[in-house]
């Protein structure tokens, strides 16, 4: 199998993957803890067109929020079983919480709150202020982690594996570089 992906194809494909409401993207995202060790969890990743970024929600009391405040690096991984495609990426995050004065960021937070399941919104409020709450109102501990990866590592798996291929897209300054690499060891081919 020859790679289907040029950078432009890939960017389009990514948007399709991250905006398909029938197939939510539950990906694993790693942060770095106080001891320099990786910490991993599943998050629901979404694409936000207005800022051309990926994002996921976090509680501001969660360990990952503290870790990302200290060190903005993340690495992520998602296996798309329908397309037999592994996506891996690296990024630096921006953290958006209730204190933001940026109107684009407030719009993103509001949107993320609205599309979050009512049960999850209830859990946020019950933790923050159980006596009296309205889940239409955004909870102050609800926050969003946004990022634009600077490196993508795409493994396209063919049915027989023999023709699988792996492509790296790496951004340096503002330009993207494309590298076809070995599926086994990542060295350029
Ligand atoms: C399918 C699935 C989706 C999840 N999505 C999120 C999410 O979008 N945001 C989030 O904070 N936690 C999400 N969680 C829970 C996290 O995996 C994790 O348990 C929790 O956020 C605490 O993580 P931390 O201790 O690393 O901060 C999800 C869990 C599962 C199983």
Phi, psi of 89 (to 5 degrees): -150, 165
**Closest Cα to atom 25, ligand 1: which residue?**
63
Residue 92 pairs in a beta bridge with 73
| Helix or strand run (H / E) with residue 73 | strand 73-80
**Closest Cα to atom 5, ligand 1: which residue?**
43
pLDDT digits (tens, 9 = 90+) for 108-130: 999 999 999 999 999 999 999 99
* Separation between Cα atoms, residue 46 and residue 18, nearest integer Å: 5
Establish whether residue 62 lines the binding site of ligand 1, counting it when its CB lies within 6 angstroms of any ligand atom.
yes
pLDDT digits (tens, 9 = 90+) for 8-31: 988 999 999 999 989 999 999 999
Residue 1 has pLDDT above 70, yes or no: no
Residue 4 has pLDDT above 80, yes or no: no
Residue 156 pairs in a beta bridge with 85, 165
**109 occurs within a structural domain:** yes
Q: Which two tokens stand for residue 128?
A: 């923050």
**71 occurs within a structural domain:** yes
Q: Which two tokens stand for residue 42?
A: 């599943």
The pTM is what?
0.96
Establish whether residue 67 lines the binding site of ligand 1, counting it when its CB lies within 6 angstroms of any ligand atom.
no
Range(s) of the domain holding residue 111 = 7-181
**95 occurs within a structural domain:** yes
Can you tell me whether residue 113 is helix, strand or coil?
Answer: helix
| C-alpha 148 to ligand 1 mean position (Å) | 20
Do residues 37 and 65 touch, judged by C-beta distance below 8 A?
A: no
Establish whether residue 25 lines the binding site of ligand 1, counting it when its CB lies within 6 angstroms of any ligand atom.
no
Q: Domain tally for the chain?
A: 1
| Mean of pLDDT values over 39-46 | 98
We report the CATH number of the domain holding residue 68 as: 2.30.110.10
* Separation between Cα atoms, residue 24 and residue 72, nearest integer Å: 25
Collect all residues with Cβ–Cβ distance below 8 Å to 132 and sequence separation of at least 6.
none
**Closest Cα to atom 12, ligand 1: which residue?**
43
**What pLDDT shows up at residue 3?**
65
Establish whether residue 56 lines the binding site of ligand 1, counting it when its CB lies within 6 angstroms of any ligand atom.
yes
Residue 79 has pLDDT above 70, yes or no: yes
Can you tell me whether residue 124 is helix, strand or coil?
Answer: helix
104: left (phi over 0), alpha (psi -120 to 50) or beta: alpha
**88 occurs within a structural domain:** yes
**187 occurs within a structural domain:** no
Residue 2 has pLDDT above 80, yes or no: no
For ligand 1, pick from 33, 34, 41 the residue to mutate: most ligand atoms within 8 Å of CB.
41
**Closest Cα to atom 14, ligand 1: which residue?**
43
**31 occurs within a structural domain:** yes
CA quadruple 120, 123, 125, 127: dihedral positive or negative? negative
């Amino acid at each position: 199998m020859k790679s289907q992906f040029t950078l432009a194809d890939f960017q389009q494909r990514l948007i399709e993957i991250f905006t398909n409401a029938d197939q939510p993207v539950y990906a694993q995202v790693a942060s770095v803890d106080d001891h320099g060790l990786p910490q991993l969890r599943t998050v629901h990743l979404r694409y936000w067109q207005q800022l051309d970024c990926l994002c996921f929600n976090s509680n501001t009391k969660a360990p990952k929020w503290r870790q990302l405040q200290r060190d903005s690096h993340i690495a992520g991984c998602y296996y798309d079983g329908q397309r037999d495609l592994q996506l891996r990426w690296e990024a630096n995050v921006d953290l958006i919480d209730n204190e933001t004065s940026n109107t684009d960021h407030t719009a993103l937070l509001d949107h993320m709150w609205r599309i979050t399941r009512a049960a999850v919104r209830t859990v946020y409020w019950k933790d923050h202020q159980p006596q009296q709450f309205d889940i239409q109102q955004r909870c102050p501990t609800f926050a969003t982690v946004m990022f634009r990866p600077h490196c993508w590592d795409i493994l396209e798996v063919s049915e027989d594996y023999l023709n699988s291929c792996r492509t790296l897209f790496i951004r340096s300054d503002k330009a993207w570089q494309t590298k076809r690499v070995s599926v086994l060891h990542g060295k350029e081919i």
